[in-house]
Structure 1
Amino acid sequence: MSSERAPSLRTGKARLDRETIIAAALELASAPGVTTISFRELGGHLGVDPTAVYRHFRSKDELMRALLDHLALLGIDEIEVPPEQWRERLRALGLATLRQFERYPAIGVEAVVLTTNGPGEHRAIELMLDGFTRAGLSGDDLVRHYALLAAHILSTASNIARARADRGEAAGGLWLDAPILVDPREYPLVAAHIPLLSEIRDEEIFLAGVDMILDSAERTAARHP
């Protein structure tokens, strides 16, 4: 990565700490076209030898966990819906997560393989459990719906953000990134639905998945009043 991707955050003689490194990594991750972050690139951006970064983060996984947890905190801080409006609040969490991953796709892509076990993740889990508790769920039903929502939000938001970064698209992109060309004799249903398939937007699918999980929570709670 060249220094042209983002303005360099030079530390000079200032003390290098975890907060400074995280700020620099966010600068790198927000630059157009950046889909990965390496310690070499991060060191160059900070104006230090990459080994200096290793003194604060022992591995790339440790760094990415810290960055993911930071994004979780940023997303939660964006939510203005009160806890009493549990459905709208959980929907807002999904959208806030998607927005953060869109801003920093090089970080968001790691959400499919890493858990942070940090305060951001813990706050997100608490928020989801609180929402589904207010919906009327408890026990196994509560935990399963939390897991469904968390998996959908993290994996789908990560994939959308990465795909948009790869294609250089803004928010609201198409779900399918190329025209569908099939032989209608072999794939009659695909051919018959090409116009509708070609109009699907990725954010619509993301929110549809969130809503289906929330609908399931309401139905499950209604069966166990």
Structure 2
Amino acid sequence: MTGRRRWSTEEILDAATELLRTSDADSFSVRKLATALGTDPSSLYRHFRSKTELLRAVADRILLAAMDGYRPEGDWKQRVTALALRVREAFGQQPQLAAVWGRYASSGTGSRLVMEEVLQALRTSGLPDEEVPARYHRLAVLIAALIAAEATGSTVSPEEYEQGLELFRVAVLGADPERFPALAHYARDVRPLGADRRAAFEEILAAHLGHIEAAIRAD
């Protein structure tokens, strides 16, 4: 009798990534993954001790992809910005996994490469050495939150997006000017959350980096 095929760690991660394209972290399970692979869940637990460990490994692969071919250029702000945009783009291609990253922070090689580059950039910024870890943490929280928020909007279907857009138009253009005077005044210029995401990402990040720069100059 032929035994069941033994799946490699990379093959398991490939299958998990594909499964997560059409589901989310809450509905994902090792049992579903095992079924997709035609194997028993116990065989997957030889590679990963838990669902959380598996999801962290999946998220780490996205970070590895973002760092592939990366070369630091420019000053510290340019380095952080370039890196953040690479991570944003990587998760933008697989938005379902952005929420996984936000919830199940990776501790793998991809995560370490990202952390190393941001910390190295901050070390060259002129910050006192003891302030670098705290500044890094705030940057990481900001970037992860922005990417996760953007990914949430990217996973809706075209029909859902159009429905939401129509509701936005009704809510804004139909606002009572006596009760919502500012909203009525700017109604034709206010844009929905899904518009100009990249520009908003860059502007918010630039503002935060500017805040760090101002703190350096004040010292």
Q: Normalization by structure 1: what TM-score?
A: 0.78
Structure 2 residue aligned with 1:99:
89
Provide the residue aligned with 1:26 in structure 2.
17
Aligned-pair distance for 1:196? 2.9
**Is structure 2 residue 158 aligned with structure 1 residue 163?**
no
Query: How well do the aligned residues superpose, as a CA RMSD in angstroms?
Result: 2.7
Give the secondary-structure state (helix, strand or coil) at the position aligned to 1:194: coil
Equivalent residue, structure 2, for 1:203: 198
User: In structure 2, what residue type is equivalent to 1:85?
Assistant: D
Cα–Cα, structure 1 residues 51 and 193, in superposed 2: closer, same or farther, change >3 Å? farther
Uncovered stretches (5+) of structure 2, i.e. residues with no partner: none
- Name the structure 2 match of 1:88: 78
Unaligned ranges ≥5, structure 1: 1-11
CA offset digits 1:35-59 (Å, max 9, x no partner): 4433233223323233322332222
Alignment of 1:71-86 (within 5 A): 71-82=62-73, 84-86=74-76
Amino acid at match of 1:123: L
TM-fit CA distance, 1:85: 3.1
Find the partner of 2:176 among 180, 183, 189.
183
| Superposition deviation, residue 190 in structure 1 | 2.3
Aligned residues of 2:4 and 2:39 also touching (Cα < 8 A): no
Rounded to whole Å, the distance in 2 between the matches of 1:118 and 1:106 is: 19
Aligned-pair CA distance for 1:194: 2.6
Q: Write the distance in 2 (CA, Å) between the matches of 1:79 and 1:191.
A: 46
- Counting aligned pairs with the same residue, the percent is 27
Residue 140 of structure 1 deviates from its aligned partner by: 4.6
2:102 aligns with: 112
Relative to structure 2, which stretch is displaced further, 149-158 or 20-29?
Answer: 20-29
Q: What residue identity is the alignment partner of 2:188?
A: P
Instruction: Figure out how many residues of one structure are paired with residues of the other and give that number.
Output: 206
Go from structure 1 to structure 2 and tell me whether the alpha carbon gap of 1:205 and 1:129 turns closer, same or farther (over 3 Å shift).
same
3-state SS, counterpart of residue 189 of structure 2? helix
Aligned residue identity for 2:210: D
Please give the residue correspondences for 1:39-78 in structure 2 after superposition, counting only pairs within 5 Å.
39-78=30-69
What TM-score do the two structures reach when normalised by structure 2?
0.80
Q: Quick one: distance in 2 between partners of 1:222 and 1:150? A: 22
Runs of 4+ in 1 over 6 A off after TM superposition: none
How big is the shift at 1:184?
Answer: 2.3
CA spacing shift, 1:194–1:133, aligned 2, 3 Å: farther
Give the aligned residue type for 1:16.
Answer: W
Equivalent residues of 2:123, 2:129 under 8 A apart: no
Aligned to 1:220: 215
Question: Which moves more between the two structures, 160-169 or 99-108?
Answer: 160-169
* 2:186 corresponds to which of 193, 204, 210: 193
> Residue by residue, what CA displacement relative to the aligned partner does 1:54-95 show, whole Å, maximum 9, x if unpaired?
33222221111111122112112253442x432222112111
| Aligned-pair CA distance for 1:153 | 1.0
